[in-house]
Amino acid sequence: MTLNSSCGSPEHPVSRRGFLTSLAAMAGTAAVADMTAIQVLGAPAVANELRQQQKRVIMLWLAGGSSQLETFDPKPGVPTGGPFQSIQTSTPGIRISELMPKMARRMRDTTIIRSLNTRNADHGSAAKIMMRGRMSEADIDYPDLGAVMSREMGLESSQVPDYVSFYTATEGRSMAPGHAGFLGARYGSMDLTTSMVPENIRRVNISELDHRERSELRNQLSGMFERGRSSSSLDSHNQAYRRVSGIMANEQLFDIEREPQRVRDRYGPTLFGRQALAARRLCEAGVPFIRVGRAWWDTHAQNFESHQEMVPELDHVMSTLLDDLDERGLLRNTLIVTLAEFGRTPSINSSVGRDHFASAWSTTLSGCGIRGGTVYGRSDASGNRVAEGEIGAARLFATIYRALGINPHKNYYIGARPIPLTDPGTEPIREVLA
């Protein structure tokens, strides 16, 4: 089953009724799938303990491919290095671009991985790889990180969604939408595109009292129908209604206007900043996975000016988010993943741009389970190749899972067929784990 994403674009209008109906159907299907097709190898007690720890992920998705040379792997002084200098960070020996002074001051919770070689520099397929941690296969539809987190960390009793994705720019939105794959649509994303508040949960023409009375009537009728019957399908429908009702009751979670002005000022006026603040609110409320898509970094021309425009925003938003999570005691259980589908070429083209590049690029992990103030891997002097510690998407994902306490070697099962969470033989990068 595939999720009809409520992307909100004119091409995909989704009515409230349609949303509720599909959500109920999704939940029902997923519940059936859970019991008949997909099983998780591992003691339920372990899984439950993990869930109770409320581990979460916020992914800052730099869609289009930000430049590692203008962010986390600067190469000043070489022909490929560009015009910007590197600056010393709070961790001796680690330097990042001068465009990121705020992150430079708070490296204590962050590890930089400078040795990604993901071998795919096409936006669409690379985005899928970096969201799922592996290449697509003809007969296996892999879930992305958000869906896995939804599956592993989502609480059955939760009244908030398990996977929320903000992606407002239209470019690249369709290249890596939230994707539950074989896990089933129950673990799919709530996609927020045109608005920061899910349009379909707004109680537009119905009062709180009407809403409660209707809910009570539904419960009464449902209870009468259930009497003497036992069905997983009925349970899942009720579960779905409870979840939808919970989400509706938590509409204010998405409303950053409820934050004090000083907090909103802290995140800044840009869309990325406001969505990061919304992500923090959702994280605080227990949403296991939130992606904040910041598009579009595809700087084939005027790379340096575009990065001069966009990197300070990333620096501000990322550092503010880390500070805010830390101050609220959330950072130890929240992993911030700053990731793109690829990086950008060391060579500078005639339009003073950098092109797609997947051979030696960077990502960062911050917070939960991470040994901060570290760098893993190294690109060569020109930035053209990985010189040390080469990893691909699978190893990055194994590291992410391990940081969150999820066994990267666990299997899901489709029927009797074991499907490992990461590619077989893939080990986490122990050097960056706390």
Partner 1 sequence: MPDANPRNLRNVREITRRDMLFSLARVPNTSRILVASSENKVLELDAGQANPTARELADHGRYVTCVRLAGNTVISGGYDNRLIWWDLQANRQIRTNDTHTRQLRQLAVSPDGSKLASVADDMVCKLWNVSDGTLIRDLRGHEERTPTHFTSMLYCCAFSNDGTKLATGDRVGRVCIWNVANGERLSTVEVPSLYTWDATQRIRSIGGVRSLAFSPDGTQIAVGGVGQIGNVDGLSGPSRVEVHDWARRTRVHEFQGTQQGLFNKLVWHPQNHWLCAIGGGGNGFVAFHNMANRTMIHQMNLPMHVHDSTFSEDWTTLYHAGHNKIVVQEMRP
- Which residue among 205, 230, 261, 350 contacts partner 1 (CB under 8 A)? 350
| DSSP annotation of 360 | S
In the complex, the smallest distance separating the C-beta of residue 304 from partner 1, rounded to whole angstroms, is: 9
Nearer to partner 1, 49 or 265 (CB): 265
Whose tokens are 């520099």? That residue is 121
- Which residue among 177, 353, 373, 377 contacts partner 1 (CB under 8 A)? 353
In the complex, the smallest distance separating the C-beta of residue 363 from partner 1, rounded to whole angstroms, is: 21
Q: Quick check: 309 binds partner 1 (CB under 8 A)?
A: yes
Nearer to partner 1, 132 or 344 (CB): 344
| SS percent in the chain: helix, strand, coil, step 5 | 40, 15, 45
Site string for partner 1, 288-307 (x = CB under 8 A): ------xxx-xxxxx--xx-
- Which residue among 351, 388, 430, 434 contacts partner 1 (CB under 8 A)? 351
Site string for partner 1, 264-283 (x = CB under 8 A): ----xxxx------------
- Which residue among 46, 196, 352, 433 contacts partner 1 (CB under 8 A)? 352
Nearer to partner 1, 78 or 221 (CB): 78
In the complex, the smallest distance separating the C-beta of residue 294 from partner 1, rounded to whole angstroms, is: 8
In the complex, the smallest distance separating the C-beta of residue 274 from partner 1, rounded to whole angstroms, is: 11
Nearer to partner 1, 169 or 197 (CB): 169
Whose tokens are 């997983």? That residue is 232
| Count of residues engaged in binding partner 1, rule: CB under 8 A | 37
Q: Quick check: 79 binds partner 1 (CB under 8 A)?
A: yes
Reduce the DSSP state of residue 119 to 3 states and report it.
Answer: coil
In the complex, the smallest distance separating the C-beta of residue 335 from partner 1, rounded to whole angstroms, is: 25
In the complex, the smallest distance separating the C-beta of residue 188 from partner 1, rounded to whole angstroms, is: 25
How far apart CA 338 and CA 291 sit, in angstroms, is 10
Integer angstrom CA distances of residue 318 from 147, 149, 192, 270: 23, 21, 20, 13
In the complex, the smallest distance separating the C-beta of residue 82 from partner 1, rounded to whole angstroms, is: 8
Which phi and psi angles does 327 have, rounded to 5°? Answer: -65, -30
The residues that touch partner 1, with contacts defined as CB under 8 A, are: 64, 76-77, 79, 82-85, 168-171, 268-271, 294-296, 298-302, 305-306, 308-310, 312-313, 348-353
